[in-house]
Amino acid sequence: MSLKRIDLLICCGSGCVSAGAHKIKERFHEVLKEHNLTTEVNIIETGCMGPCDYGPVMVIYPEGIFYKKVTPEDVAEIVAEHFVKGRPVNRLMLHEEEKTIQAQKDVPFYQKQVKVALENCGYIDPESLDEYIATGGYEALGTILTEMKPQDVINVVKESGLRGRGGGGFPTHIKWQMVHDNNADQKYVICNGDEGDPGAFMDRSLLEGDPHRILEGMMIAAFAMGATNGFFYIRAEYPLAIKRIKMAIEQAKEVGLMGSDIFGSGFCFDAEVRTGAGAFVCGEETALIHSIEGMRGNPTPKPPYPAVQGLWGKPTVVNNVETFGNIPTIFRKGAAWFSSMGTATSKGTKVFALTGDIRNTGLVEVPMGITLRELIFDVGGGMNGDHKFKAVQLGGPSGGCLTVDHLDTSVDYESLKERGAMMGSGGVIVMNDEKCMVNVAKFFMEFCVEESCGKCSPCRIGLKQMLEILERICAGKGREGDIEELQRLGESISKLSLCGLGQTAPNPVLSTIRYFRDEYEAHIRDHSCSTKVCLDLMHFDIDKDRCIGCSLCARKCPTTCISGSREDKYTIHQIDCVKCGNCFDVCPVKAIDKVPGMHPEIVAHRAQMAKAAQHYED
């Protein structure tokens, strides 16, 4: 029996690896050896394929069959049925509305995506220079070095309309032009891989899945501005990304794609990797530069901008990973092709880490101008279970929350900013109707307080004050005027902080007040959290009509605040209850309810304590 050669692509992005992708790969080697098929099947460990919620995922060519949620126990069946008998395993395919989807290209998750920066992620072996070259890799660099002048390169980037994908959306060509026009004896280019937003994994996935693309983009930028040295600044929490970028640099050097006289053009370039310790503030370019220099990663006022006075006082361009990832394709397919996508002011595509309470979480790349509705419900598959959409947080901890009224908003820099959110680096967290927006604001404020470098007082002191107010509100101790005070503080911090962290940190609070003010008011005036997330603003109550008097709740209570008998049923003494939820979890007849609002006993007790404290002070 003759067998066609088979390419087995296993997603080994971080999400699939955590779900067991490496064990699946090892099992394939074992089973293929048992069937004497090791010479017929080419196993390729790829970067992130995108649909993390389906992981581990794999694609088998030449048919392009897409398998999801594969386990090591499935491997023997795949080999015996698909590889030997030519019968794909139906149960491992995607099934939607009684329809079986076999091919990866037909999976709904991919339908509205356009891959530019992610062009090769999930399709090639990221550790193979040959595979990158086979997809057109280094073609753009070769053409540029042998046929174009530096100013021509900058002009193409300008025509493409590419803006920085790190969050600010600054036009890429302007940075490059500033450094190009500087006559300094030494210039630098830096790739910012210090991705620190909660829930974000765009840059990591690009570095892990297509490292040569980012290296090629950096080298094109270096040629355009006259830089001869580059640095990859990657946080230490990304060991695989660091490993693969270092490998790409060594591979490029071995074949003469990096070093002296590249492509016989006289252009020389070298690059190295510097690891960051995980400080969120080092995503800010001046703080990042100080970290590379061996100093504490504190930001400095601008101007002077790094393009004028950057690394070791020399002109420096800092672009993020995704920005460099777009460059090779722009030059291979043309500036007009790239600028044909998007809106008038936001060209091309954007990579997002789509997470939260949706069916299809993962790494996506969509054209600018797509609506939030399309991103969340078409690409993301809509909400999990029977829950309704409530809000979406865009732009990471410095972004803002938008509501159901904004679902038809265009995803571009200006539209999001007008509504109190921001593009950011690309983190998208979708939330359902079980989320408390005051608590969400508190979560992001905790992150920003923790990550503040403390250099300027508006950020160091002001964010802490905002957090203290939010903590009081969530604890049921909010006061009239707290909402206005949060707004005043937020606006002042945004205007007076030194760097982007402080200037944008109040956004989650200001946007949730803007669109969910009623939740803040309920927390303060009614001592109630309708979602029952804030423990101090809800209570457990035993329904005596449903209680069977089994005493299990009392026996599991750590504070012995539950008393009663089989005849009299059981009661929770609210003042001693710590809201651990043990009683709720163990009740066999679901006689215990989570009730929104502070129990009257607690309200009365707090009032009594406050009166006593006032009497003591008087």
Closest CA to 37 of 71, 75, 92, 93: 75
Cβ atoms of residues 477 and 471 within 8 Å: no
1 — pLDDT class (breaks 50, 70, 90): very low
Instruction: Label residue 503 exposed, middle or buried (CB < 10 Å: 0-12, 13-18, 19+).
Output: middle
The residue whose two tokens read 């992620």 is 121
CA 441/CA 523 separation, integer angstroms: 13
- Residue 395 is predicted with a pLDDT of 87
The residue whose two tokens read 């897409």 is 66
Lowest mean pLDDT among 106-120, 175-189, 550-564, 595-609: 595-609
pLDDT for residue 616 is more than 50: yes
Task: Pick 168 or 586 by higher pLDDT.
Answer: 586
pLDDT for residue 390 is more than 80: yes
pLDDT for residue 487 is more than 50: yes
Q: In order of start, what are the domains of the chain with their CATH numbers? A: 6-110 (3.40.30.10), 129-339 (3.40.50.11540), 349-430 (3.10.20.600), 437-525 (1.20.1440.230), 535-603 (3.30.70.20)
Average pLDDT rounded to a whole number, residues 491-515: 94
CA 567/CA 603 separation, integer angstroms: 30
Average pLDDT rounded to a whole number, residues 265-288: 94
3 — pLDDT class (breaks 50, 70, 90): very low
Closest CA to 57 of 104, 99, 101, 91: 104
Name the CA dihedral angle for 319, 320, 326, 328, rounded to a multiple of 10 degrees.
60
CA 271/CA 268 separation, integer angstroms: 11
Tokens (6 digits) for 260: 């002296």
CA 398/CA 394 separation, integer angstroms: 9
Lowest mean pLDDT among 2-6, 407-411, 458-462, 494-498: 2-6
Per-residue model confidence as pLDDT tens digits over 463-480: 999 999 999 999 999 999
130 — pLDDT class (breaks 50, 70, 90): very high
Element (H, E) at 216: helix 211-225
398 — pLDDT class (breaks 50, 70, 90): confident
- Residue 197 is predicted with a pLDDT of 84
Residue 600 DSSP label: H
Cβ atoms of residues 592 and 573 within 8 Å: no
Average pLDDT rounded to a whole number, residues 334-353: 97
515 — pLDDT class (breaks 50, 70, 90): very high
Cβ atoms of residues 216 and 224 within 8 Å: no
- Residue 166 is predicted with a pLDDT of 86
Percent of the chain past pLDDT 90, that is, above it, reads: 89
Cβ atoms of residues 285 and 276 within 8 Å: no
Cβ atoms of residues 361 and 384 within 8 Å: no
Task: Pick 14 or 510 by higher pLDDT.
Answer: 510
Per-residue model confidence as pLDDT tens digits over 309-339: 999 999 999 999 999 999 999 999 999 999 9
Average pLDDT rounded to a whole number, residues 24-38: 96
pLDDT for residue 399 is more than 50: yes
The residue whose two tokens read 């090769």 is 120
Instruction: Label residue 185 exposed, middle or buried (CB < 10 Å: 0-12, 13-18, 19+).
Output: exposed
Closest CA to 167 of 458, 514, 504, 512: 504
CA 19/CA 529 separation, integer angstroms: 35
Residue type, 172: T
Cβ atoms of residues 407 and 372 within 8 Å: yes
Residue type, 279: A
Cβ atoms of residues 533 and 544 within 8 Å: no
Tokens (6 digits) for 86: 């030519």
Per-residue model confidence as pLDDT tens digits over 302-315: 899 999 999 999 99
Buried-state track 110-131, b at ≥16 Cβ within 10 A, e below 16: beebebbbbbbbbbbbbbebeb
pLDDT for residue 358 is more than 80: yes
Average pLDDT over all residues of the chain: 94
Cβ atoms of residues 222 and 445 within 8 Å: no
- Residue 4 is predicted with a pLDDT of 59
**CA distances (Å), origin 56, targets 18, 45, 91, 215, 279:** 9, 12, 15, 28, 30
pLDDT for residue 352 is more than 60: yes
Closest CA to 78 of 136, 32, 14: 32
- Residue 604 is predicted with a pLDDT of 87
Cβ atoms of residues 282 and 294 within 8 Å: no
- Residue 2 is predicted with a pLDDT of 41
Residue 258 DSSP label: S
Per-residue model confidence as pLDDT tens digits over 205-233: 999 999 999 999 999 999 999 999 999 99
Question: Is the bond leading into 304 cis (omega within 30 degrees of zero)?
Answer: yes
